[in-house]
Amino acid sequence: MIAWIRTLLGGFTDELRRIARNRAILMVLLGIPVVYPIVVSWLYVRNAAVERPTVLVDQDGSALSQKLAQSLDATQEIAIEGRIDDLQRGFEMVRQRQAEMLIFIPSDFSTRVRTGRQGQVKVWVNGANILTYGAAVGATRTTVAALNEELGRDFFHKQGLTTQLSDRRIMPIRTDTRMLFYPTGAYGEFLVLGVFLIAFQQLILISLPFSVGLRRETDLVPTPVRFPFATLAGRVAAHTLFYILASLFIVLVVTPSFGWGIKSAASVLVLFAAFGLAMLPLSMIAASLVRDRFTGFQVLMFVSTPVFMVSGFTWPLEQMPRAVQVFASVFPATPALLAMRVLAVKTSELSAVSGELAWLGVHFVAYTALAVVVTHLVAWRDRRRALGRPMVTIPVV
Amino acid sequence: MRAFLKGFVHEARRLVSTPKYLVMLFLLLLMSWITTEIYQGLVIRDVPVVVFDRDGSGLSRTLRRYIDATREVEVVQVPISSVEDAQALLTRGEVAAVVLIPSSFSTDLKHGREPRVLVAIDGSNIVIAKNVSKAISTAIGTVSAGVQITVARKLGLPEEEAMAAVVPITVDENDMFNPATNYAVYIVPAATFFLLHVYAMLLFASVFLPDDPSPGIAHRAGRISAIGVTSFLLGVAFFALLMPHAHITVQSSLGVASVVLVAFLVAEALSIAALARVLPGPLFAFQVTIILNMLALMFSGITWPTDMFPQPLQQLAAWLPFTPFADALRMFIHEPLQLEQLHGPLRQLGQQALVFAGLIAAGHVARRTIPALRRRFA
């Protein structure tokens, strides 16, 4: 046991020395957690998609149509950037992405409303981006509903009802909608916290394989070690110092600096720690299998985006096919991202994410066991190679 | 020419025989397939919602049925007896919304008093929250309009006029490019081609690494061409096989899609070659290339519109080849277009290619002349 601990400490100090001497490893350890969170935060700093470019074709030109246009333009989501006469030109502007919405008010619009018939407003929206589509269409619906309410009130008033009764008749059912936990519904804040976690994942997945790969490039004949898992655990412990710094930087510096709201920094840091722990054995497995410093980058960069998409952070997990749900469940990012959403906006109580933390615990145990097996298999192969015996094929990428 | 062909064959062999390149190809195919599978449902359906009906009247049951009838929402039976229960359900994420119909709902409605329906939505996932909010407000709006029409008819108006009195202005929505506003059309092409971009980018960047150096420019060009051809064939397979699997019909011809793909791959290869030429050290260039290009999906404007970016990031995004490619992708997937209608993104890719080629040439000249000048002045 003492020899095992000595090996672990040896791996730890050796790796720290290597990090201090090698700028490339240091660049990975500092570059990923600094560059990604800052750039991503800066990218989403405006938080919500507002003032979507809209063109208006107003063939009516009445007071009512102008009022509608002004009300639409006054919303946060819509900016009427062009008032044109030609509907065809409007289509072309939407097609060429110069505008995202085209509103057409026909010439008989106000006449129809005045004479007790329904006036129709035609809207063409670019649905290719659901985020901007939702903003523009939502604002249009709300604005028209408000105008309908006003016109309906006038109608009932003219029928002899009092103002109060008219109000009640035009809105017979009042709806109080409370958007709990995240009332702004802004896209930027919703997304960035998840992206931070994925950047943290990539840091853990790449830094150790990079360093170990670099060592393999220089050591042509690998030195046989008695406790391969302990050596690698020592090395990953050295990297963990930087992972801790990275999580502190992300949660305590970047998050408040850009105004991203979290319920409690302490709870989120606990989540980062649990997620980091679950990722460490995966990093060790990857490090055991790489042959050079580039392989980690080349192979592991593929996982970041799909893992984020499959986690259920944006598209709900229960809406995915069963096979995809099973696939998602093997990645520590899945419970971590689900827990992140709860801790960021719902509650700071860790008990609310106890299921996800237990899930991460299962990952840690299972992947540690796998890491023990893989590191010993690789060490066994290296020993045979050192002895010059025939090789046993172990997949190395 | 011989060196070019040698380089081409050398790289083609590496791509099919080196384990790590095979793993990359496997991951590309697996992750792309998974991406299409995620959105097989196309739209949000049957999100669990609780209706806490304290009225129990025919009218409140009608409202409940209307909510349940929407595509997005499914009313589930969960016993709740207090607001705290409802709050706990929402916090645990077991339901997406709780609709509270007050005990005086139908009485208030019949007596011309405004009953208030309380809708509490779990806003922690904006995709679910927006869909649920829209579904519930549509259901309540429909019941509400029914009540208004009844009142208007009691005032002596015929049905058509009653409708016009209640809803004087209607909005006729025509969704262009993604008529069903489904999420697969929105995200799957971008995400799968982003993965192809990652594959091509990593391979292009690997050509400049010191572990397998090329003896000359022609040999290197041959290697890059082999990667380009492989990525192109994979891209065509994505258009022809993967998109239909994700229920996406590419509206333009495969020829148009292929030309855009070729233009993108040329600009991509040149951009990576330029970075390798301009930046000091192959490893540093490799790291910068990866860090920049991994942000390409976010910078492309597909999910977050580019006009919302800070100005410097808009400029940076404009110089990533994936940005004009994503622009073109969104256009030719949704509309039957000819090449001349894609002149905007194609011109941008062309400009990028020219600038990157210029940088490569300048870097090449600088690497030859600077040491000579140093020697001369030393």
Question: Which residues from B are below 8 Å from A127, CB to CB?
Answer: 175-179, 181, 186
When pLDDT is averaged across residues B103-120 and rounded to a whole number, the result is: 82
Q: What is the pLDDT of residues B90-101, one digit of tens each?
A: 888 888 889 888
- Which of A141, A169, A319 is facing B171, going by the closest CB pair? A141
Residues with Cβ within 8 Å of A89's Cβ and at least 6 positions away in sequence, in order, are: none
Question: Does A120 sit within 8 Å of B170, measured CB to CB?
Answer: yes
In chain B, where the domains are located? 2-40+180-377, 47-166
Q: Which residue has the tokens 């590191």?
A: A375
- Which of A144, A147, A321 is facing B37, going by the closest CB pair? A321
B272 vs B266: CA distance, rounded Å? 10
The answer on pLDDT for A129 being more than 80 is no
Whether the CB-CB separation of B42 and B184 falls below 8 Å is answered with yes
Mean pLDDT computed over every residue of chain A: 86
The CATH architecture one would assign to domain B47-166 is 3-Layer(aba) Sandwich (3.40)
pLDDT exceeding 70 applies to what percent of chain B? 99
Residue in A166, A179, A198 to test binding to B, most B beta-carbons within 10 Å: A179
* Between residues B198 and B59, the one the model is more confident about: B198
The answer on pLDDT for B178 being more than 80 is no
Residues with Cβ within 8 Å of A189's Cβ and at least 6 positions away in sequence, in order, are: A44, A47, A182, A260, A261
Question: Does A341 sit within 8 Å of B191, measured CB to CB?
Answer: no
When pLDDT is averaged across residues A211-237 and rounded to a whole number, the result is: 81
Q: What is the pLDDT of residues B228-259, one digit of tens each?
A: 999 999 999 999 999 998 888 888 999 999 99
Buried b (16+ CB within 10 A) or exposed e, A154-174: ebbbebebeeeebbbbbbbbe
Question: Which residues from A are below 8 Å from B187, CB to CB?
Answer: 309
In this prediction, residue A169 carries a pLDDT of 66
The answer on pLDDT for A394 being more than 60 is no
Q: Is A331 left (phi over 0), alpha (psi -120 to 50) or beta?
A: beta
Whether the CB-CB separation of B67 and B61 falls below 8 Å is answered with no
Phi, psi of A121 (to 5 degrees): -110, 130
B269 vs B258: CA distance, rounded Å? 16
Q: What is the pLDDT of residues A177-199, one digit of tens each?
A: 777 777 777 888 888 999 999 99
In this prediction, residue B114 carries a pLDDT of 76
Q: How far is B163 from chain A (nearest CA, A)?
A: 8
Q: Domains along chain A?
A: 2-45+186-387 (no CATH), 52-170 (3.40.1710.10)
How many other β-carbons are positioned within 10 Å of the β-carbon of residue B212?
12
Phi, psi of B43 (to 5 degrees): -135, 165
Residue in B27, B36, B38 to test binding to A, most A beta-carbons within 10 Å: B38
Q: What is the pLDDT of residues B328-340, one digit of tens each?
A: 998 888 888 889 8
| Alpha carbon distances (Å) from B199 to A180, B91, B194, B221 | 41, 40, 9, 18
When pLDDT is averaged across residues B313-317 and rounded to a whole number, the result is: 92
Give the bridge partners for B50, in sequence order.
B98
Q: What is the pLDDT of residues A324-373, one digit of tens each?
A: 999 999 999 999 999 998 898 888 889 889 999 999 999 999 999 999 99
The answer on pLDDT for A109 being more than 80 is yes
In this prediction, residue B268 carries a pLDDT of 95
Residues with Cβ within 8 Å of B107's Cβ and at least 6 positions away in sequence, in order, are: none
Q: Which amino acid is at B204?
A: F
In this prediction, residue B266 carries a pLDDT of 96
Q: What ipTM did this prediction achieve?
A: 0.83
Question: Does A316 sit within 8 Å of B44, measured CB to CB?
Answer: yes
> What is the interface size between A and B, counted as CB pairs within 8 Å?
310
Strands A101-105 and A119-126 come out as antiparallel
- Which of A42, A131, A152 is facing B303, going by the closest CB pair? A131
Whether the CB-CB separation of A174 and B112 falls below 8 Å is answered with no
The answer on pLDDT for B351 being more than 80 is yes
Q: What is the pLDDT of residues A261-278, one digit of tens each?
A: 888 999 999 999 999 999
Whether the CB-CB separation of A43 and B309 falls below 8 Å is answered with yes
Mean pLDDT computed over every residue of chain B: 87
pLDDT exceeding 90 applies to what percent of chain B? 34
In this prediction, residue A200 carries a pLDDT of 95
In this prediction, residue A5 carries a pLDDT of 87
Residue in B20, B118, B185, B323 to test binding to A, most A beta-carbons within 10 Å: B20
- Cα within 13 Å of Cα(A276), Cβ side: 24
